[in-house]
Amino acid sequence: MSRVFNFSAGPGTLPEEVLQQAADELLDYKGSGMSVMEMSHRSSWYDDIHKKAEKDLREIMNIPDNYKVLFLQGGAHLQFSMIPLNLKNSGKADYFITGNWAKKAYKEGAKYLDAKAVASSEDKQFTYIPKLDESALRSDADFLHITTNNTVYGTRISEKDIVCLDNVPLVADMSSNILSEVYDVSKFGLIYAGAQKNMGPAGVTIVIVREDLIKDTDSLVPTMLQYKTHSEKDSLYNTPPCYSIYICGLVYEWIKKNGGVAAMQKINEEKAKMLYDCIDNSKLFKGTVEKPYRSLMNVNFVTGSEELDKKFIKEAAERGIANIKGYRTVGGMRASIYNAMPVEGVKALVEFMKEFEAKNA
C-alpha cells in the first residue's frame, strides 16, 4: 500500500526520510544489537541520542545558553498545571485567550493562582486574534501566557504581533507551530510544545525555560512536576520516552539538512499561500478565519453544506488525502500542513478541491 497524504492535526505526518531511517535502525541501532525501544536510558548508546537531540534543537532554534531544554512527559496538557506551579511568585498570571487550548490553559491556571483573561476572541468563535492592549497587562504578574498557533480554529500569532511587558516572563504554547517559523527564543521566559504535531510521535513534550525561572517550589508540588527536578538530572530523573526523543532527534537532523527553521518557514508560507489562494478563488469553499490571522499550519475551510463537507471528506480519503475532517466545534475540513507535509501533498489537495468544485458547485 502506498502512503497517503496525512493532513491530521496530531499526531501529524512525519518526514518519510525520518521514518525510513527509524525502520532501518529498528532492530539494530548502529550496531548495538538492540532497538532504541529496548535500551537502558542510562546506557552510553541512549546518552548519545539524548545529548545530540538537545544539541540539534538548540542549534536550529538558536536557543541561548541560559535556557534549559527539558524532555518531559504528560503532553502540553500537563504544562497547563506545571507552569503556574513552578512560576508562581506573586500568585497572578495573565492569559491571552485565542482558542481551545489557550482557554484550557487559563482554566487550569486558575486552580493555582489569580488568572486573568487579558483578551479573548471567543466572542467570534476564535476566528481572529484580538488586539492586546498593554494597559490590560499586570506588571506584577508571574507570567503572560499565549498560544502562538491555534490548532483547532486555525489562527496564528506571528512574532511581530506579540505584546508583553519587559519585566513579565512570556510563556508560549507552541505545540502546533514550533520549528515552522523563526521566533527569537530570548523574548520568551518559557516555550513548550507537545511533539506529536511538528516534531515527532506522541510521548514527549519539549520545554525550553530560562534558567532564572527554575527555582524551588512549594513543598506540596509533586517532585515529578518540578522543573528543577528534571533540570538537575538533564531530563533523566526517571525513564524518559526514549523512542519519542530519538525520533525527534531525527526530525531535528532532517530540519538541519534542509536549511533550518528559516527554510522551513519559507516552504510553509508557500504551501499555505497555495491552499488559501485556492479557497479565496473558490465559489464553493470558504475559509473560517479572518485573513490577517490565518495559520500557516492548520487551514480550516467549509462548503456551507454539511452534506457536501461529508462527501468531500469521503472522496478525499479515496484519493489518498487522509484525515481532512475538521474539529467538531468548527466542522468542515481542516488541512494540517506541518513541516513534514510535502508541497506535493498540498498540490494534490488543491487539485482535488478544484475537481470537486467543478462537479458539485
Residues recognised as catalytic = 101, 173, 197
Q: How far apart are CA 354 and CA 348, in angstroms?
A: 10
* Residue 41: count of CB within 10 angstroms of its CB: 17
Evaluate whether 357 touches 283 at the Cβ level (below 8 Å): yes
Cis? peptide before 11, omega within 30° of 0: yes
Instruction: Give the list of residues 6+ apart from residue 251 with CB closer than 8 angstroms, or none.
Output: 14, 15, 18, 199, 200, 340
* Residue 237: count of CB within 10 angstroms of its CB: 15
Question: What length is written for the chain?
Answer: 361
- Phi and psi at residue 155, to the nearest 5°: -115, 165
Q: How far apart are the first and last CA of the chain?
A: 32
Amino acid at 133: D
What are 119's three cell numbers? 483578551
E strands, 35-135, in order:
67-72, 92-97, 114-120
Taking each helix axis as running N to C, give the angle between helix 306-318 and helix 343-360, from 0 to 180 degrees, rounded to the nearest 10: 130
Q: How far apart are CA 64 and CA 56, in angstroms?
A: 13
Q: What share of the chain is helix, strand, coil (3-state, %, to 5)?
A: 40, 15, 45
